């Protein structure tokens, strides 16, 4: 599965909140260096955990979900299961550390 970009509140609702199973959401922004550093890690995550959908949300373009989930630092990575947040971590990190912080 490829990394999905949710470019609207409707897409966030469809891809994350209404999704069955687990979804890793990356709240990021273009100007954020650590966010850009996470891009290849998320591509690797997508390949390593094919059963977990990866969705990126640009907080400058789609702010409502970031406000709803009180995202005040980016990159913020939230693991949802059936529309409910199960784990959260903030900051750039390698794949192994990300998986550990998410309880995978």
Catalogue all structural domains in the chain, each as residue range(s) with its CATH number.
4-101 (3.40.30.10)
Distance CA 79, CA 100 (A): 12
Q: Cite the active site residues.
A: 32, 35
Averaged pLDDT for residues 33-60: 96
Dig out the tokens for 16 from the structure: 């994350």
Averaged pLDDT for residues 43-67: 96
13-28 in b/e form (b: 16+ CB < 10 A) is eebbbebeebbbbbbb
For the full predicted model, state whether its pTM sits above 0.85: yes
Averaged pLDDT for residues 13-18: 96
Distance CA 77, CA 54 (A): 10
Look at residue 26 and tell me whether its pLDDT is greater than 80.
Answer: yes
How confident is the model at residue 92, as a pLDDT? 96
Distance CA 59, CA 51 (A): 25
Look at residue 31 and tell me whether its pLDDT is greater than 80.
Answer: yes
Look at residue 1 and tell me whether its pLDDT is greater than 90.
Answer: no
Residue in 28, 98, 37 with CA at minimum distance from that of residue 89? 98
How confident is the model at residue 37, as a pLDDT? 96
How confident is the model at residue 2, as a pLDDT? 87
């Amino acid at each position: 599965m490829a990394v999905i970009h949710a470019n609207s509140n409707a897409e966030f609702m469809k891809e994350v909140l209404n999704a069955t199973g687990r979804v890793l959401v990356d709240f990021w922004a273009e100007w954020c260096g650590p966010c850009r550093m996470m891009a290849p890690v998320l591509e690797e995550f997508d390949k390593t955990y094919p059963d977990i959908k990866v969705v990126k949300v640009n907080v400058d373009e789609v702010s409502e979900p970031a406000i709803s989930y009180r995202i005040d630092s980016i990159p913020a990575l939230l693991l949802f299961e059936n529309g409910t947040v199960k784990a959260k971590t903030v900051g750039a990190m390698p794949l192994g550390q990300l998986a550990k912080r998410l309880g995978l």
